[in-house]
């Protein structure tokens, strides 16, 4: 596997999985503008490196919700990993544990909570939650998670209704009775959010009142995933969230949203240090991670590259992706004059560039 060039890794992943599974991983909503702009926004930011600093030893260790982690890189919640590798989420969890990275398991996992927990080692494990109107279902799930040693619940709030993807519609995922959402009541066959059966269905009508209930009821810290506005972030913290994840769901549901790179500073400012802030969407390089940290994120989450690595080489492939991004981050910190995460600040980001005027006539 070539994890150095993510373009090559993506191409190899495409050759190893079904067309429907790859389309589901790669696609975005409508015209896929947000998918492309998420990546471009990080690349468009410019760094202002410091010089003459002692960078002989680089430290990327930190705490995430109080738990120690080796790197500010987490594995984002993405469902249905058995579409990409026979071991599914168990392989992903094993890779995270080996790297010392936090893994956020999806509600739509195709491997049981307990099997994922068995791979934990010292790395934190969190759970991404889609709430349902049946409170008893959610209560049973969070109690099961706590018993299995999970320490965080990330409530996803940006998909009250699924988006539409023309690419996924052209190459749908064929339902396989052997691949199921095993942690949900009845272990239903794993269908994607783009399945025609879900079109227009308000599946997760979560409100701030639900968040307040979850924060009271959960024995684990509660995060909110899918925030793009400062006012919403502040209300989430008031409702009991310990962290917010700046995310537009990888551009998969509402197209033409603000990019996560653009939304991040506003959310950080609104939270004001009262909660941790993380960000996902379009992170492809160590320099992207450095920029996110400079803009105030405590850590980033990686989605699609994780699935590429999983498709190509299972747990080892996911670990290679994490190791590669960690190595790039260390190199970017060294070249920018920051020996620790505490030394990465907003001064590393250049002010917005002003377009040069076009040459006039005459």
Q: What is the pLDDT of residues 307-327, one digit of tens each?
A: 999 999 999 999 999 999 999
> CA 258 to CA 265: how far, in whole Å?
12
Q: Average of pLDDT values for 18-34?
A: 97
Q: What is the pLDDT of residues 102-120, one digit of tens each?
A: 999 999 999 999 999 999 9
324 carries an active-site annotation: no
What angle do the packed helices 19-26 and 6-16 form, to 10 degrees? 140
Q: Average of pLDDT values for 241-246?
A: 98
Per-residue pLDDT band for 166 (boundaries 50, 70, 90) equals very high
Does residue 362 register a pLDDT over 50? no
Does residue 361 register a pLDDT over 70? no
Does residue 272 register a pLDDT over 50? yes
Q: What's CA 166's distance to the chain center, in Å?
A: 23
Give the pLDDT score at 3: 55
Task: Name the percent of the chain lying above pLDDT 70.
Answer: 94
- Looking at per-residue confidence, does 182 or 359 come out higher? 182
Q: Average of pLDDT values for 177-190?
A: 92
Per-residue pLDDT band for 352 (boundaries 50, 70, 90) equals confident
> CA 165 to CA 171: how far, in whole Å?
10
> CA 296 to CA 251: how far, in whole Å?
22
Put simply, whether the predicted model's pTM sits higher than 0.85 gets the answer yes
168 near 23, Cβ under 8 Å? yes
10 Å Cβ neighbour count for 86? 9
Q: What is the pLDDT of residues 191-201, one digit of tens each?
A: 887 877 665 55
Catalytic residue among 81, 85, 181, 249: 249
Give the pLDDT score at 62: 97
Does residue 179 register a pLDDT over 60? yes
Structural domains of the chain sorted by starting position, each given as residue range(s) with its CATH number in brackets: 6-347 (3.20.20.70)
Q: What is the pLDDT of residues 138-163, one digit of tens each?
A: 999 999 999 999 999 999 999 988 89
Q: What is the pLDDT of residues 36-84, one digit of tens each?
A: 999 999 999 999 999 999 999 999 999 999 999 999 999 999 999 999 9
97 near 123, Cβ under 8 Å? yes
> CA 301 to CA 323: how far, in whole Å?
14
């Amino acid at each position: 596997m070539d994890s150095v060039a993510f373009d090559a890794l993506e191409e190899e992943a495409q050759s190893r999985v079904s067309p429907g599974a790859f389309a589901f991983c790669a696609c975005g909503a409508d015209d896929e503008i947000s998918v492309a702009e998420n990546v471009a926004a990080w690349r468009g930011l410019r760094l202002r490196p410091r010089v003459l600093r002692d960078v002989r030893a680089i430290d990327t260790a930190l705490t995430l919700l109080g738990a120690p982690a080796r790197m500010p890189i987490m594995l984002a919640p993405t469902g249905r990993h058995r579409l990409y590798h026979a071991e599914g989420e168990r392989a992903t969890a094993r890779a995270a544990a080996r790297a010392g990275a936090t893994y956020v398991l999806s509600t739509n996992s195709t491997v049981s909570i307990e099997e994922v927990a068995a791979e934990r080692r010292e790395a934190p494990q969190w759970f991404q939650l889609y709430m349902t109107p049946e409170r008893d279902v959610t209560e049973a799930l969070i109690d099961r998670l706590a018993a299995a040693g999970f320490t965080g619940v990330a409530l996803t709030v940006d998909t009250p209704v699924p988006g539409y993807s023309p690419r996924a519609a052209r190459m749908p995922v064929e339902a396989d009775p052997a691949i199921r959402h095993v942690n949900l009541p009845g272990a239903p066959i794993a269908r994607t959010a783009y399945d025609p059966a879900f079109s227009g269905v308000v599946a997760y009508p979560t409100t701030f009142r639900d968040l307040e209930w979850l924060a009271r009821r959960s024995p684990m810290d509660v995060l909110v995933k899918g925030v793009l506005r400062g006012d919403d972030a502040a209300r989430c913290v008031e409702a009991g969230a310990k962290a917010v994840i700046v995310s537009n769901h990888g551009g998969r549901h509402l197209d033409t949203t603000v990019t996560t790179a653009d939304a991040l500073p506003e959310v950080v400012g609104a939270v004001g240090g009262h909660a941790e802030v993380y960000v996902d969407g379009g992170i492809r390089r160590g320099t992207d991670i450095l920029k996110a940290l400079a803009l105030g994120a405590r850590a980033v989450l990686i989605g699609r590259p994780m699935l590429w690595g999983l498709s190509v080489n299972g747990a080892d492939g996911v670990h290679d992706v994490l190791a590669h991004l960690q190595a790039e981050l260390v190199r970017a910190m060294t070249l920018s004059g920051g020996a620790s995460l505490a030394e990465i600040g907003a001064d590393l980001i250049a002010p917005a560039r002003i377009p040069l005027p076009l040459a006039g006539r005459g």
